[in-house]
Amino acid sequence: NRYSTFSSGDNGLTWEHGTDLDASSTDQDVALPRITVNGEGFVLLATQGPPRQHTPVLMVSGDGRQFAARPVDHTALEQEDLSVSAIGITGEKLMIAGATGPADRRESFGISIDVPEP
């Protein structure tokens, strides 16, 4: 699957294609991205990879037109079967909620990391 960003500079009259987020091979997939506003820009977080082995993909944009990948490092995001259910920004922190672990032992998590610069 593929997710694409689009932006409009004229209140939705016309749209411009931005950044694509798609699986790198047929045995991988991309989970529904979460997006939140950061001042004039945006932060996007998704997971991608083989089933039950997803890794985080963090992207930022200063204007909503083009997104650039940023590294994300937290032990909660390195666990088996990662899924992200929500993100938000408070102050200078990106809040991330989700779950990890095998189906019979899923554990919820809530973490905060520094908001990456666009």
**pLDDT tens figures, 42-94:** 999 999 998 888 899 999 999 888 999 999 989 999 888 999 999 999 989 99
75: tokens are 């032990």
Interatomic CA distance for residues 26 and 79, integer angstroms: 23
pLDDT for the residue 97: 97
- Look up the domain containing 77 and give its range: 2-114
| Domain tally, the chain | 1
Higher pLDDT, 10 or 23: 10
